[in-house]
Structure 1
Amino acid sequence: MEEQLIPPETLTSFHNFITSPNCKTILALVGAGLSSASGLPTFRGSGGYWRHYNSIDLATPDAFERDPGLVWQFYSYRRHMALMAQPNAGHQTLAQLSHNDKINFLTITQNVDGLSQRANHDSRKLIELHGSLFCLKCTNFTCSYSDPANFKDPLTDSLDASSLVHDKGNTEDLPFLSDDKLPHCPACETGLLRPGVVWFGESLPWVSVDKTDEFIMRNHVDLILVVGTSGVAWPAASYVDIVKNQGGKVAVFNIERDDTDTESWQFIGDCSKILPVALDPLIDQVNVRSEVQ
């Protein structure tokens, strides 16, 4: 997207605000719409099927207990695809903003693909609200083993992603994998490992929630960037409402316009192309300081 495709009055108004003394604290809430520009499926709506399996049905503790091999094949595919993908300009823009020390900034990502980290986002200013595909946890109740950054691909020979091609029209069942073909805990040696993501029916990690709440409540958030996610789904809606109630502004970056929202800046289109244009004045500040140093 070229700059002229964004309404000039919208861009001017937004640039005037983010460069004013009234914009000192920015919160970014990121969803799957940002990573879709890197070629990763969102697994939502009409795209919510992997092969002929409903992806939501695979993302539950019950599904893992019932057929851990099937669930691991799904997540091995996702791990492989995320490793093959590259951070796009939207990820890189937010990462650069995290290094702008003139702005009090935090990104809350609902994505589990690790692309924000690979874009060199400041880890102190990044919360993975739904966990990560590359975190592994032991399912043994008596074992607390966790590996926060395991990028081995495949995790076992039976989970080679070359046999797990994403094909919406493929109705062939995947092979049954017994437990001995799946990743096991190196600590207790008996428990199966599982992906360190938040499944449906599970609570969000309290450490991430507390850090988010602390940032919002201890600071006056002047602006929340809603990037590639719906502003009506929880927890997005709650964070947006809190910022609004604090008197903060909202900027939405998405592929669809919300005609009921007349108060927010709305940037419609590919997030990876719109974010760099919209946040350019703040990124220029980072580049200038880098050259001076």
Structure 2
Amino acid sequence: MNEFPNIVVLTGAGISAESGLETFRGSDGTWNKYKVEDVATPEAFARSPRLVNDFYNKRRRDALKASPNKAHFALAALQKHFTESFVLVTQNVDDLHERAGSTNVLHMHGRLNQVLCLSCHKKSEWLTDVTETSVCPHCHAKASLRPDIVWFGEIPYYMEKIENALSRADIFAAIGTSGLVYPAAGFVNLARLSGAECLEINLAANPHSYTLFDEVISGPATKTVPEFAQKLIEKYQH
């Protein structure tokens, strides 16, 4: 029997905001500068690959320049302590969790530092700009690479793994995410059905927070997440 509780953590854009990456739904968020249908759908890519690539090229460059913050490092420490009983799911497409030391992160919305080939359907690490003439490293097809990003209308990655983890969760924490968009919006309900203690950690509480979560913690992620992690580590110190 596992001596540790099963912990599932979901992170969103709020955890990377203090690393200088824009949130999507804030007043100055990325989505306020672009129409979703122009840059974040398969149809947009088919219609104007250059516009979509330019959008994600800039985001990739911004993510590469950013550095993990105290919240990312705190979750890496939490994973190191709880090992196999800890599952980290992120809506973010940056790699700040990995650079802080987290492993096996479930990127449900894909990753900026990968591309997907529409010809051979293989993924490749990609750290530079993608253009319409970029060549797939696997099949060498031209003009076949797209950002490995789950766009609107597409199915998020790892859903079966995530739902299985939530069905066994003893603790579920949503960090830096509004939780308003499905399927992530349903995660807390799945966790509650399994009897998990549910926490929301966000810059500010949402209107629905107090009806969905057992505990709501408000404040900057770089302060609240390390405190949350340290409290759990101390509670289950052996």
SS at match of 1:237: helix
Looking at structure 2, the residues matched to 68 and 117 of structure 1 have their Cα atoms a distance apart, in angstroms, of: 29
Corresponding residue number in structure 1 for 2:191: 243
Cα deviation for residue 214 of structure 1 reads 2.2
Looking at structure 1, the residues matched to 123 and 230 of structure 2 have their Cα atoms a distance apart, in angstroms, of: 38
Cα deviation for residue 190 of structure 1 reads 2.9
Looking at structure 2, the residues matched to 22 and 116 of structure 1 have their Cα atoms a distance apart, in angstroms, of: 25
Gaps of 5+ in 1: 1-20, 157-178
Corresponding residue number in structure 2 for 1:146: 123
Distance 1:225-1:115 versus aligned 2 partners, 3 A rule: same
Looking at structure 1, the residues matched to 162 and 31 of structure 2 have their Cα atoms a distance apart, in angstroms, of: 32
Corresponding residue number in structure 2 for 1:129: 108
Distance 1:138-1:284 versus aligned 2 partners, 3 A rule: same
Corresponding residue number in structure 2 for 1:277: 227
**Aligned residue identity for 1:110:** Q
**Aligned residue identity for 1:128:** H
* RMSD between aligned residues: 2.7
SS at match of 2:114: strand
**Aligned residue identity for 1:150:** W
Does residue 197 of the first structure (1) align with residue 146 of the second (2)?
A: no
Larger Rg: 1
Aligned-residue sequence identity (percent) comes to 35
Corresponding residue number in structure 1 for 2:100: 119
Corresponding residue number in structure 2 for 1:164: none
Using structure 1 for the length normalisation, give the TM-score: 0.72
Cα deviation for residue 198 of structure 1 reads 0.2
Does residue 62 of the first structure (1) align with residue 62 of the second (2)?
A: no
How is 1:193-232 mapped onto 2 (pairs within 5 angstroms)?
A: 193-205=145-157, 208-217=158-167, 219=168, 221-232=169-180
Gaps of 5+ in 2: none
Greater relative contact order (Cα 8 A, min sep 6): structure 1 or 2? 1
Looking at structure 2, the residues matched to 52 and 122 of structure 1 have their Cα atoms a distance apart, in angstroms, of: 33
Counterpart among 58, 61, 64 of residue 77 in structure 1: 58
SS at match of 1:137: strand
**Aligned residue identity for 1:42:** T
Corresponding residue number in structure 1 for 2:136: 185
Using structure 2 for the length normalisation, give the TM-score: 0.87
- Which of 258-267 and 56-65 deviates more? 258-267
Is the CA contact 1:135–1:195 (under 8 Å) kept in the aligned structure 2? yes
